Amino acid sequence: MENTNSLPKLIEKILRSKGANDEQISMLVEAGIQSKADFETIGDTQTLIDVTEMDEAIAESIMQWAVGKPAQQVTVPEETTTNREPIVVESADVVKCIHCDTKQPKDYKTGDLCISCGMQAEPVLSCHWCYSTGPGKFCRSCGAEFVASADYEVALYLKQEGESKNAIPGLIKEMSANDKENVWARIRKNA
């Protein structure tokens, strides 16, 4: 225990507050530790344990004080790891059915029926904004979001009334059946 005199009194008091006893402080001194900077040379808890044969809990407490918790020992709470969805990266040419989200085979052509639900996997729709046609959820010419075929005339009417390209699909989704019937009445009246 005569080796404990080579550590500054402040560091010795801090080590004691972290749970180290006289024997463990002597092991630190015998290992060549004389300042807080020496713990940075050690680097992590496991190395401190290897060098001094110190108890793991005390070594971790000391290293936490001296250099902070090393990155390789940071643990993620279990509830966040179990709730994560796996990240799936798919090729840009993958086509999924808009009805059931089933991945279609490589030889799929626009207009084919879904292999799972039997509906048209990627129907060809008309754009309410630029009048072009195409598959998918968005127009490939102007970028407008397609609306269902049944709501196409309602979208054209909303465009005529001055609604913006990006607002029309949202307005149609928010409309009730009664609201759509009222728009249809105005369309018929103007025809």
- CA–CA dist 169, 33 (Å, integer): 69
Residues 71-121: tens digit of each pLDDT: 345 455 555 556 778 887 877 778 888 889 888 888 888 778 888 898 888
CA atoms within 13 A on the CB side of 176: 2
**CA 47 to CA 50: how far, in whole Å?**
5
CA distance 53 to 47: 9
Beta partners for 133?
A: 126
Single pTM value for the model: 0.44
Q: How far apart are CA 45 and CA 147, in angstroms?
A: 60
